[in-house]
A and B are shown apart, each in its own frame.
Chain A
Amino acid sequence: MNALEIASRGMMAQQVNVEIVANNLANMNTTAYVRRSAEFQDLVYNNISRPDTSGSKAGALVPGGIQAGHGVRVAGITLNNEQGSLKATGNPFDLAVQGGGYFEISLPSGDPAYTRDGTFQLNAAGELVTHDGYPLSQGIVVPAGTSDVTINLTGEVWVKIAGQVDLANVGQIQLFSFINPAALEAQGNNMFTATTGSGEASPGVPGGAGYGSIQQGYVESSNINPIREVASMVAAQRAYEMNSKVVKAADEMLAPSK
């Protein structure tokens, strides 16, 4: 009885679908979270009668054949890297990227990680760090005695040091882009690492071709659209129920032979 197996695979696939919706909705207010969606693929086929075999001596071909499917599987969960809306916070170290590109963070292991969550803070040494205390890889240090910090669209960090007339440039924030950002590996904590699929990170100046600009005092909201999520949750639940009906029917068909 293949129907039992096939329908149970359908139920499992729809369960993953609901889990993805659950994660998207749970991260609705997560800074720079990008929504995920499931890609389903059909499983292998059993050729009961192969299409294009000849049905007679005269060379008449079987037009459709009989291919029995075996169900469904989750082939991929893709990141939909659309721009999220920008939200004003008024904090000088909240940076949003408008356009493409990621900030590069140095992990404690020394490896780079990439994020679009630009809610930075200063540590005791005046260095620009994430909420976990990991520094921005360009190592921007705001000197003591700074009364004001301005980060412009192209990522230059200008500080007003008390007693000096001119603003001083203390560093340049860089952005990193990937050929296929949808293939970045999510690490949690709003961070990603590069994979073979994403390609190498290529650094660039914000505002340059292919790189977004930096907006100081803003954070990028998640790009979750609640309507889409609720709709796909409803669809997934109904598909789940329909698959369960198939399981039930298969069970009832088996019943007399028990």
Chain B
Amino acid sequence: MRSLDIAATGMIAQQRNVEVVSNNLANMNTTAFTRRRTEFHDLLYQNLRRVGSTSSNAGTVVPSGVQLGLGVKLAAVYRIHEQGNLTATDNTFDLAVQGKGLFEITLPTGEAAYSRDGTFQLNANGEIVTHDGYPLQPGITVPDNAVDVTINAAGEVLVKIEGQVNLSNVGQIQLTTFPNEPGLEAIGDNLYLETPASGNPTSGNPADTDFGSILQGFLETSNVNAVEEISNLISAQRAYEMNSKVIQTSDEMMGTLNQLR
């Protein structure tokens, strides 16, 4: 009874669908979260009668054959890197990227991670760090006698030091781009790692050609669309139920078979 196994692949696939939707909805208010979409592919086919084979010596061809499909599989869960909305926070170290590019963060292991979540803070040494205390790369230190910090669209960090007339430039924030951003590996904490699929990172100054610009006092919201997610959730649940009906039917058919003797 293949239909039991086939319907089971369908139920498993729809369960994954609901899991992806629930993760999207759970991260609706996560800074710079990119929504995920599930992509399903059909599984392999059993050729009971091969399509295109000749059905007689006169050269007549079987027009459609008997190809029995064996279910469905989850082919990919891919991220859709659309720009999220910007929301004003007025916090000095909340930075949003408008356009392409990710911030580079140095993990405690020394490895580079990338993020579009620009909610930075200062640590005890005045360094710009993430909420986990991981420093921005290249490292920028704000002197402790600074009264005001301005970060402009090009990523220059300008500080007003008490008693000085001119602002002084204490660093340059850089952005990193990849040939294929959806190919980055998500490791949680709004961080991504480089993979062979993402391609090599290219660093540059914000607002240069090919790089987005920095907006101080803003954050990028997630690009989750609640309406789309809810409609996906409904269709996944109904598909799950219909597959369970197939299992029930297969079970009843086997019951019929058992009653024969």
User: Is A241's CB under 8 angstroms from B256's CB?
Assistant: yes
Q: Which of B44-74 contact A (CB under 8 A)?
A: 44-45, 47-54, 61-72
Taking CB as reference atom, which chain B residue is nearest A186?
A: B45
Closest chain A residue, CB of each to CB of B62 = A197
Q: In the bound complex, do residue B71 and residue A23 qualify as a contact, i.e. CB atoms below 8 Å apart?
A: yes
Contact: B253 with A26, CB < 8 Å? no
* Min CB gap A78→B, angstroms: 4
| A157 cross-chain contacts in B, Cβ below 8 A | none
- Alpha-carbon distance A39/B63, docked complex (angstroms): 12
Interface pair B3/A123, CB less than 8 Å apart: no
Check A190/B42 contact, CB under 8 A, given A25-B243, A131-B78.
yes
Query: Once the chains bind, are B210 and A121 in contact (CB under 8 Å)?
Result: no
Question: Which B residues lie within 8 Å of A21 (CB)?
Answer: 3, 246
Give residues of chain B (145-204) contacting chain A, Cβ–Cβ below 8 Å.
Answer: 179-180, 182-183, 196-200, 202
Q: Say yes or no: A76 contacts B62, CB within 8 Å.
A: yes
Is B85 interfacial (CB-CB < 8 Å)?
no
Given the interface contacts A124-B196, A188-B44, does A22 sit within 8 Å of B3 by beta carbon? yes
> Contact between B9 and A26 (Cβ–Cβ < 8 Å)?
yes
Whether the pair B64, A183 counts as a contact (CB closer than 8 A) is: yes
B226 interface contact, C-beta 8 A: no
Size of B's binding interface in residues, CB under 8 A: 80
A15 to B2, CA, bound (A): 9
Which residues of the partner chain A approach B44 to less than 8 Å between Cβ atoms? 187-188
B217-229 interface code vs A (CB 8 A; 1 in, 0 out): 0000001010010
Known contacts A29-B17, A126-B179, A190-B42, A74 near B48 by CB under 8 Å: yes
Chain B residues near A188: list those with CB within 8 A.
Answer: 41-45
Shortest Cβ gap from B42 to chain A (Å)? 5
Give complex CA distance A240, B9 in Å. 23
- Docked-complex contact A183 and B51, CB < 8 angstroms: yes
Chain B hits for A123, CB < 8 A: 179-180, 183, 197, 199
Q: Chain B nearest CB: distance from A237 CB in Å?
A: 5
Contact between chains at A25 and B242 (CB < 8 Å)? yes
A208 within 8 A of B: no
Contacts of A251 in B (CB 8 A): 260-261
Check A26–B7 contact: CB distance below 8 A: yes
Does A3 reach chain B (CB closer than 8 Å)? no
Contact residues of B with A, CB < 8 Å?
1-4, 6-7, 9-10, 13-14, 17, 37-45, 47-54, 61-72, 75-76, 78, 80, 82, 99-100, 179-180, 182-183, 196-200, 202, 209-211, 223, 225, 228, 235-236, 238-239, 242-243, 245-246, 249-250, 252-253, 256-257, 259-261
Which chain A residues have a beta carbon within 8 Å of chain B's beta carbons? 11, 15-16, 18-23, 25-31, 33, 36, 39, 74-79, 88-91, 117, 119, 121-126, 131-133, 144-145, 147, 162-163, 180, 182-190, 195-198, 226, 229-230, 233-234, 237, 240-241, 244, 247-248, 251
Can you add 11 more A-B contacts, CB < 8 Å, to A26-B9, A180-B63, A234-B249? A15-B1, A16-B68, A21-B246, A26-B71, A122-B179, A126-B199, A188-B43, A230-B242, A240-B253, A244-B256, A248-B260
Selected A-B contacts with CB under 8 Å, 29 pairs: A15-B253, A20-B68, A22-B3, A23-B68, A25-B243, A26-B6, A27-B69, A29-B235, A123-B180, A124-B198, A124-B199, A124-B200, A126-B199, A131-B41, A132-B75, A133-B197, A147-B100, A163-B209, A180-B63, A183-B62, A183-B64, A188-B45, A196-B53, A197-B51, A226-B239, A226-B242, A229-B242, A233-B249, A244-B256
